[in-house]
């Protein structure tokens, strides 16, 4: 009986998928280089909290971390888009990369800023949302086309410039690009979302 139980346990261990491990967890303070400690202090002074999220793996390159923080400060808070639309762009991008951490962070912010739950949940499911505003439809079309095709068509570009101007169009591309970068960092590092965070289903290949 004991032998059978052992065989079952071994079979279970073989068939269970390997758990993804955090490749680049926080660096203990005593192991940080002087440059990393200085960068952590600058980050804390700017963000009023310790290094977190995608900045944890980026901490391996202090200058990249601080430059990413500065770019993120603008693209998160100071684009021409109101917060609701900016967060919508972030959700579209993080969902494209099935980025659980970014989705966990930005989904509630998007809802708080006024994005419809139905619209956000459709993005989570990989569906084109119904009931979008005209601005949301344009942003969805532009960002989805950019992420899928690595470019946008002339008609889509013309619509974006007519509505948001060249500055707004470039800032929309900037938000997509920045959260593409952050998603790639997090996915490479296998940074886990906090416990209890909803898991996004991978898109079918």
88 within a domain of the structure (yes/no)? yes
Angle, nearest 10°, between helix axes 154-189 and 134-149? 60
- Give the CATH number, domain containing residue 92: 1.20.1290.10
By C-alpha distance, which of 94, 167, 86 is closest to 124? 94
> What crossing angle do the helices spanning 154-189 and 100-112 adopt, rounded to 10°?
130
Q: Which domain holds residue 177?
A: 83-189
Question: Would 34 be classed as within a structural domain?
Answer: no
Q: Is residue 205 part of a domain?
A: no
What pLDDT score does 4 carry? 38
| In the chain, alpha helices (H) | 2-15, 34-47, 55-58, 62-77, 83-96, 100-112, 117-125, 134-149, 154-189
Specify the residue for token string 């400060």: 73
pLDDT for 202 equals 78
Query: In total, how many domains does the chain have?
Result: 1
Helix (H, G, I), strand (E, B) or coil at 16: coil
Mean pLDDT by groups of 10 residues along the chain of 205 residues: 39 38 96 98 97 97 98 97 98 96 96 98 96 98 98 98 98 98 97 84 70
In a domain, 113, yes or no: yes
Q: How many CB atoms lie within 10 A of CB 67?
A: 12
Domain membership of residue 142 (yes or no) is yes
The answer to whether residue 90 sits within a structural domain is yes
Distance in angstroms (rounded) separating the CA atoms of residues 20 and 197: 15
Instruction: Using CB atoms within 10 Å of the CB of residue 124, give its burial: 0 to 12 exposed, 13 to 18 middle, 19+ buried.
Output: middle
For residue 173, which of 102, 96, 53, 79 has the smallest C-alpha distance?
79
Closest CA to 19 of 190, 187, 195: 190
| pLDDT for 197 | 81
How far apart, in whole angstroms, are the C-alpha atoms of residue 198 and residue 132?
A: 24
Residue 9's pLDDT is what?
A: 34
């Amino acid at each position: 009986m004991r032998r059978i139980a052992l065989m079952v346990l071994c079979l279970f261990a073989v068939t269970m998928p390997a758990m993804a491990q955090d490749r680049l967890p926080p660096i203990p303070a005593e192991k940080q280089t002087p440059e990393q400690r200085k960068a952590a202090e600058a980050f804390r002074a700017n963000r009023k909290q310790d290094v977190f999220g995608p900045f944890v793996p980026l901490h391996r390159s202090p200058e990249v971390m601080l430059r990413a923080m500065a770019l993120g400060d603008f693209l998160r808070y100071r684009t021409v888009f109101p917060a609701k639309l900016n967060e919508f762009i972030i959700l579209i991008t993080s969902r494209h990369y099935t980025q659980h951490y970014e989705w966990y962070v930005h989904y509630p912010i998007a809802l708080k800023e006024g994005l419809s739950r139905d619209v956000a949940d459709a993005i989570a499911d990989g569906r084109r949302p119904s009931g979008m505003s005209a601005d949301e439809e344009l942003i969805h079309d532009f960002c989805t086309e950019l992420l899928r095709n690595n470019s946008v068509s002339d008609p889509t570009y013309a619509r974006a410039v007519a509505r948001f101007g060249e500055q707004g169009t470039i800032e929309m591309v900037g938000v997509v690009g920045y959260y593409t970068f952050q998603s790639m960092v997090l996915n490479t590092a296998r940074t886990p979302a906090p416990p209890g965070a909803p898991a996004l289903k991978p898109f079918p290949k």
